[in-house]
Each structure stands twice: as C-alpha cells, then as structure tokens.
Amino acid sequence: MEFLHYPVMHQEVLDNLTIPKERDAVMIDCTTGEGGHTKLFLDTYPNLKVIGIDRDKEIQKKAIERFKDYGDRFTPVNSWFNDYLSERESESADAILFDLGISIFHYEESMRGFSFRKEEKLDMRLDESQRLSAETIVNEYPEEALSDVIYKYGEERYSRRIARTIVEKRREKRIETSKELADIIYGCVPREYRYGRIHPATRTFQALRIEVNKELDRISPALENALRVLNKGGRVAVITFHSLEDRIVKWYFKDRYEKYGDISILTKKPIVPTDKECDENPPSRSAKLRVVEKK
C-alpha cells in the first residue's frame, strides 16, 4: 500500500508564502518529499517554477513521477538543502519553503527503521550512501555519547538508563532492528512510563534520526543562505514539528532582525493547524509555521 504525505497547513502556507503574479517566478521547496506543497503552488500559480530539493532518492522518485506532466516547471535536485542553498546565486528566488517534518513515506514505506512499531533494519538514513546509521550509533557510540544524543535530541529524561541498557544488550548481541531497540527501551524504563501519552521509545527514535541525518545542524546555515538567495520582498516559510527545530528557527529570525534589520517577521507568534486539520491529520498537531519577508 502506498501512502501520500498530507501537506501540513496547506492553506496557511499558500496564504503566507506569496508569489509574484506579474512575472515568471521561482520557488525553492527545500524539503519536497512527495511534493504535496509543491503541487499546491504549481497549480495555484501558472507563472511559477519550483526547484524541489530532497536528499532521499527514493522519495524523490515519487515527486518526479508526480510532476512528469509539468515539464520544466518542476526541477528536482538530489541534495541536502543547506548544501544546495550555499551554492546558489544570490537573489535568485521569490519564495523558499522548509517543511522540516519526516514524511509518512519514511515511516510506512521506506523499510529503514524510522518506526519503532515495525521490524525493520535499524537505519534511518535519508542519504543511503553515508556510513553513519542508527545501527552504527546504537552499537558503536560510547555509553556517555549515546546518552547525550538521546537527552539532547530526544529530551528524554531516562536517557542514561536507556543508554546503559543498550550498551549492556549490545555486548550480548548486535542490535540490528527497530523492533529490537524498541523492546529494549520498553523493558528498561519505569513501569508507569510505559503507559504514558507516547510510546517510551518515541523520544529515543527521534534523537537517533536527528543524529543520523544531522538535522538540527543544517537549519541555521540553510536559513542564512535562504535569505541571501531570496529576492527583496520575497518570503521564507518554515514548518517545524518539535521544540528543538522551532527554537532554532525562532531565535535565528529574532537575532537576524535585531542584528541586521533586513527582514520583517510576519508571524510574531507561529501559525498552528486548525482543530479540523488536527482531527483529520493527527501528525500535524505539533506543527508550527513561521514566515519572514526580506526587506
């Protein structure tokens, strides 16, 4: 069964990431995925061309197939968004979108161990050519480093206990699958923690994914270059899904405004999904949208 990623806050993104209508325009979708947001913009603005960036070749194949009838209005780029933006010429785009969430494709179809509910190889790489994987981290990181990753990127209060147990278990046998790891975490946390609002492995899996793909390290450099690449009057929109991402985006824009004054912050408070969207698409509940305009 194939799953299609639901474009989070699609109307809010359309309303706030404005595109010039009087001339040919260029938008960069830095996290294209299956292309949900890109399709909305291509269909809304006949004068628009979209450059769709994604590091994952498999999910990018879906976007390429989806937009095969749009001709040169869609250009796929297989790259990390921070790398692409660092090399792009200044003032060459009218709008830039970041949707920092992980697609449902990765949880349901990729077979790379993103979900703790599945028996899959413990991988979590978006770039399958790199060496570092979740399996490498779990089996080779020293206990203290592993604990630090789980605490820093997962905000997991039982990070030390989880890391200690993982190290004990890997001495017996290499931990190779997502289900193995989830069971280890489930078994080592306090009983009351197992029956909380979220599965006890949720935060650890998030932390491993962030560490594997260096997700947080990419945000500030990408935003800096996005503002350089943007035409004056153009906008950058960023959708985040957890507090670590949102904190980086919020403070980058705030510091940029106070230091240089070359942007207008259009969302003093982040835009959040409607109750209706949260009911229809539960993963959108934690989403926040921030938008700035280049002066």
Dist CA 293 CA 287 (whole Å): 20
214-228 pLDDT, tens per residue?
999 999 999 999 999
Statement: 109-213 belongs to CATH 3.40.630.10: no
Calculate helix-pair angle for 178-188, 202-213, nearest 10 degrees: 130
More confident residue, 33 or 226: 226
d(C-alpha 86, C-alpha 208), whole Å: 26
Give 69's pLDDT tier (boundaries 50, 70, 90).
very high
DSSP state for residue 100 in the 8-state scheme: -
Tokens describing residue 141: 């990181």
The answer, yes or no, to whether residue 264 has pLDDT greater than 70, is yes
| Region 152-181 average pLDDT | 97
Q: How many CA atoms lie within 13 Å of 56's alpha carbon, on the beta-carbon side?
A: 20
Structural domain boundaries in the chain:
10-105+217-294, 109-213
Q: Residue 12: count other Cβ atoms within 10 Å of its Cβ.
A: 20
Domain 10-105+217-294: CATH class, spelled out: alpha beta
For the entire predicted model, the pTM comes to: 0.94
